[in-house]
Each structure stands twice: as structure tokens, then as C-alpha cells.
Structure 1
Amino acid sequence: MQTRHIATDGLVQRVLEAGPEDAPLVLLIHGFPELGISWRAQVAALAQADYRAAAPDMRGYGGTNKPERTEDHTILQLVGDMVDLVRALGHQTCVVVGHDWGAPVAWHCALMRPDVFTAVAGLSVPFQPRRAAGPPTPAMAAISKRLGRGELYMNQFQNPDAHRIFEADVAAGLRKGFYAYDGATPDGRQSTGFIAPGHDFLSEIPDDATLPPWMSEDHFAEYVKAFTASGFKGPIDWYRCLDLNWSLTAFLQGQKITQPSMFMVGERDPVRHYAGQHEAGLKDWLTDLRSQTVLPGAGHWLQQERPDEVNAALLSFLGSL
């Protein structure tokens, strides 16, 4: 397993990788607030099974370039980064796997470039088709109001200063985030994603939040060091582009994913409070859905919480191709 910097089209990406260079490529895309290192267990397992695995720090994160402009974090650019990374790694095709925010990127890689991304796996966040009725943030605000559950954090993240709550105390922000979405966190202390009036994403999480059982102090220190250096503006800019993404993807309206696919989610993943409704209709949009799994007791950080089960599922899926 090695880490190196790879120049792609207009971007330098830090990539964690292992496995034979000429073996089938599997690209692993992280979400918020993570890095390529969140896939270490999968990189090792895939390499041992004679795949080439690559896990980049995504645009705006870690050791990869961080564009200043918010509008330089759209889904088109994120997919483009992955297309060019495949080429830079010396391949023409790959299987793409995404977790959290990385899952929508992976789904869109499959939608936009089926010639490059020949199969797709999503963890935690199901495929969500584009809404013909209009952009997502007004719709999410209307749902929050109708439910009377407060404001969805993704709407709060539209604020141009939203990233500053994480930067005020990077270690505390990361610790609270990992704790609030972990499967071991008791009921009532997990986040629901909905923020009560007068609060923000972090103020609703208990101050005595601890690291999840799977997160060592040394591993946590890697995240703290990376986000202290890079800040959170780039990662939060992904959220600020939600409506812009909608306006840029009219050409995808109604399009289905026809490549082999799989989906896995933790039973206790808080994302299911606001994206879970899309799980029931996955087969309507993923026409070759080969597995859809709910891991009992698991939370959001699947590939780190439950690496053995995730590795087994990925290897089974890859073996079916």
C-alpha cells in the first residue's frame, strides 16, 4: 500500500493505492468528513484478491488540490476528476465504489460515463434520481417544515460561513461528527440530520461525544491533522453546489443505471432518516441491481465500522461481474 500524488486534468490528487498495476481497477470514493485513508481495509483486501485499488482524497480534501471557488465543486467536476484519474492510473475502465457523498459521485460516474465505469457500488446513500419538479434545497426545506423536525443540516450548510463551526475546534467537530453517525452510539444521541431552531449541526451533538469503537487515536489524529491544514470550506462547498448540480444535470433526467450495481446501508445509519425513502425504489433505477443489503446494528461509517462484511460484499460483487 502506497500513497502518491498524481497529476490529472487541472488537479493534483493524493491517492492511496495497492495491487498489481495491470489488474482490474477498483476506484474508492470517500465522503464527508473523510479521506482516502477511510478505505485502508478495502484497499488491502482488494489488493490481496488481485485487484488494483485506488482511494483518492477528493477535490477540496486532504492532499488533493482545493479550488477556492464554490462553483468548482459541482458533480460534473467531481465525475471528471474520477474519469481522468482512471486514465492517469493507466486504465480505460474500472469499477467505482462510493460511500456517503462519494456514493452520489459514484452513481453519477455510472450515469455519465458507462463506457469508463463498468459497474458501481454505493454505501450508505442510495441512488436518488433527479427531481423534475425543481432543485433540492427548497424541496428539503419544505419537507422539514412539513415534518416539524427543524432544519435539515444540508440546508444549513448553504450558509457561506457554515464551515466555520467545524474549523473553530477541528478535533471536537470531527469527534462529534463521527460519534453522531456511528452504529454504536445509543438511540437519542445519534443525529437525525434535522437541526432544532437556534442550533447547528455540532451544537446538537453531546459535548461528551467519544470516538467510535473502531476509531483509534492515531487514526483520528490523521483526520485532525489533515482538516486542520485544509479547513472545511471545500468539503462544505460540495453541499453548496446541490442546486447548481440540479441545474447542470437536466440531460440525465429519467436516465437509469444499467451497469451491474450493489447497495449496502447500515440498519442504524442516520442518513436513512432523510434519504431512506429512496431505498425502496432502487430496483426501478438500477436495472442490474445484484445485491441490496442492510447491515444489522451498523451505522454510517460502514467500511470502517464493519470492514469484514463490506470487504466480503465487495469481493462477492466483483466476482459476479
Structure 2
Amino acid sequence: MTEFSMIDAGELKLRAVIQGQGPLVIMVHGFPESWYSWRHQLGPVAEAGFTACAIDVRGYGGSDKPHPVDAYSLAHMANDLVGVADALQPGQPAILLGHDWGAPIVWNTALTRPDKFRAVGALSVPHLGVGTRSFREVFDALFTAKNRFFYQAYFQKEGVAEAELEANPRDFLRKFYYAISGDAPDGTWPNNKTADAKLLEGLVDPDPFPAWLTAADLDYYVDEFTASGFRGPINRYRNHDLDFDWQQQFKDRKIEQPALFIAGNRDLAFNMLGGADPIALMRLQVPRLQVAEVLDGCGHWTQQERPAEVNALLIPWLKAL
């Protein structure tokens, strides 16, 4: 039976699973996931001599779920991680790990609060520095203006995506998890939809489902989102402009802490830039990038698809800090 802790993070309360004793490692999940996405890392990190803490990000699972869109900005997310660190080990700089949306959350928290966090690791999404324009402007120009579908553009209008995904959370999660996994053949994520399409149009329901996500795993996620809904998770995507404005004060700053990065070569989020080498670009912004590995054949769900390989890179890095 999983034991949950409710952590007063200052602005609100976050639910977490905490194992082990030692220096604090805070694990931050992405969309559409939960603390559960770190289930294969909690035990090994704890056994390596750390306090492993996997949170439900605000809006998810058992954590508080404020209604306003702007409650899900990066500034609030960074404050949440500071609050968790202060609550669990006050006065001791913690270590951050993030995947998917959790990656930019931990990158930006490490960037803006080096006093609170002494190392940062991220999966899937590299840190390429503070942008010169809002990511919303980028995808509007590349996709919407050309009548091409982009999921983050689809997420902008309140209530639209929520209605589609909440109609059948199991159907959504099965199709979405599969479409950007390493098991899905090239082209499973449709790139030819028009801007007025829905998210699930063209996505396939796999049979059988990839072995890395068991029936019990899927049931857990389905139960979580059936209970919580998708407004909070999708609100994160509605803060690109607010995030951009907040980040400008840090545009000349680099992430100076020791860092780790792991991605899959079949991860659409890692390969979003096309031909450019994300890791080479990242080294300019993260000069102490100590581990940078790309796992062959791995898709987007890095630590779930390849737990043994991730842990084999993660644990030695943590121990050497």
C-alpha cells in the first residue's frame, strides 16, 4: 500500500510519495502523468542513500487544484518546489529531477533559485536557455498560421480539450501514451491534421499495449484522471506568455549546478528542433552538464520505458554529487 504525505508548499498543499533518508531528491512529473511515473526510481534512489520524494504537481492527483489559469505559471511551479524543499529539509539545498513538463519546471527552478537547489536532472526536454519570444508565438507561426494542428495550440481555449479528454480518460491515455512511445511506428503521431482537428483524431489504440505500461499501471492513471479531471494539467500549457515575461529577468543567466540529461532518440519532444543537436546547444546554457545520454529506441516516457537504463545513469550521478 502506497503511503502518501501532504506537504504544505506555502501557496498550497502537494501530495507526495516519500521513501528513504538522506539528501532530498524531488521528482517532478509531466503531462499526463503523476507521482506514479517515478515508481521505478523511488526505491533505487532511496536505497542509494537519499530521501526520494515524487510529487503530484499542482492540478494533478491528490494535490491542490486551483482554478485560475495563471495559477499554473512557471513562477508558481518554482515556488512549489522551493516550498517542498523548505518543508522537508529546511536550509539544505535539494536535488531536482523532472520529466516532460517536469523538465522545464526543474530547469527553470534551478536557474532561478540556485540558493535552494544544488543539482538538477531532466528527462526528455533539454534546457536551451530563455527564449527570445513566447513559445505560443512560435507554434502559432509554425503551425496555426499554416492551418496545421499542434496539440499545444489546441490546448489554449479553456474547456475544449478538457471536454474531449474527460469524455473517456482511458481511451485518451491509451492512445496518447502509445503514440509518442518508442514502440509506436514512425508516423503514429499524425502530422497532417488541420488546425481545427481534435487531439485524438488519427491516434490509434494499440493492441497489445507496450509491456512497459501494465494493465494495473494504466488503471492507476485512469483512476487518477477520472477523479481529478484535466483542467489543471492543461492549464500549464496556457501560460506560455506569462512564463516568457517572467523568464526575461533571467535571460543572461546559465544553470551552473551539476546536471544530468537523458532522452530517447525516438522522443518527439527531444527531436522538436529538427536537425540541430539539442545536447550541444544545451551545453552552452548548462556548462556543468555531467551526464548526457540518448537511449536508442526509447520514446517519450523515458523513465517508464527504460527504468533500468535510466537508473544505471541516475544513481551513480546522484552518489557522485
**TM class, shorter-length:** over 0.9
Name the amino acid aligned to 2:85. Answer: V
TM-score normalised over the length of structure 1 = 0.93
Kindly provide the CA deviation profile for residues 137-185 of structure 1, in whole angstroms up to 9, marking residues without a partner as x.
1222212368x68232112211212222111111101111111111111
Say whether residues 1:279 and 2:279 are aligned partners: yes
How far, CA to CA, are the matches of 2:173 and 2:44 in structure 1? 27
How far, CA to CA, are the matches of 2:144 and 2:156 in structure 1? 17
What residue number does 2:235 align with?
A: 237
TM-score normalised over the length of structure 2 = 0.93
How far, CA to CA, are the matches of 1:218 and 1:304 in structure 2? 14
How far, CA to CA, are the matches of 1:101 and 1:2 in structure 2? 25
What residue number does 2:163 align with?
A: 164
What residue number does 1:318 align with?
A: 318
**CA contact under 8 A between 2:103 and 2:122: conserved in structure 1?**
yes
What residue number does 2:253 align with?
A: 255
Name the amino acid aligned to 2:149. Answer: E
Kindly provide the CA deviation profile for residues 59-115 of structure 1, in whole angstroms up to 9, marking residues without a partner as x.
100000000001110000001001010111134211101000000001011101111
Q: Does the C-alpha gap of structure 1 residues 162 and 229 become closer, same or farther in structure 2, counting only changes over 3 Å?
A: same
- 1:6-17 correspondence runs (5 A): 6-17=7-18
Give the superposition deviation at 1:254: 2.4
- 1:220-231 correspondence runs (5 A): 220-231=218-229
**CA contact under 8 A between 2:144 and 2:153: conserved in structure 1?**
no
**CA contact under 8 A between 2:144 and 2:195: conserved in structure 1?**
no
How far, CA to CA, are the matches of 1:225 and 1:145 in structure 2? 33
**CA contact under 8 A between 2:9 and 2:81: conserved in structure 1?**
no
**CA contact under 8 A between 2:24 and 2:89: conserved in structure 1?**
no
Kindly provide the CA deviation profile for residues 1-20 of structure 1, in whole angstroms up to 9, marking residues without a partner as x.
63222222131111011001
Say whether residues 1:267 and 2:268 are aligned partners: no
Q: Does the C-alpha gap of structure 1 residues 210 and 7 become closer, same or farther in structure 2, counting only changes over 3 Å?
A: farther
RMSD: 1.8
* Number of residue pairs matched by the alignment: 316
- 1:93-108 correspondence runs (5 A): 93-108=93-108
Give the superposition deviation at 1:209: 6.2
Structure 1, unaligned runs of 5 or more? none
What residue number does 1:214 align with?
A: 212
**CA contact under 8 A between 1:175 and 1:209: conserved in structure 2?**
no
- 1:111-126 correspondence runs (5 A): 111-126=111-126
Give the superposition deviation at 1:47: 0.9
What residue number does 1:296 align with?
A: 296
**CA contact under 8 A between 1:179 and 1:210: conserved in structure 2?**
no
Give the superposition deviation at 1:186: 1.5
Give the superposition deviation at 1:275: 4.5
Give the superposition deviation at 1:304: 0.7
**CA contact under 8 A between 1:125 and 1:275: conserved in structure 2?**
no
What residue number does 2:187 align with?
A: 188
Q: Does the C-alpha gap of structure 1 residues 210 and 197 become closer, same or farther in structure 2, counting only changes over 3 Å?
A: farther
How far, CA to CA, are the matches of 1:128 and 1:179 in structure 2? 27
Runs of 4+ in 1 over 6 A off after TM superposition: none
How far, CA to CA, are the matches of 1:195 and 1:4 in structure 2? 43
Say whether residues 1:128 and 2:122 are aligned partners: no
What residue number does 1:2 align with?
A: 3
SS of 2:78's partner is: helix
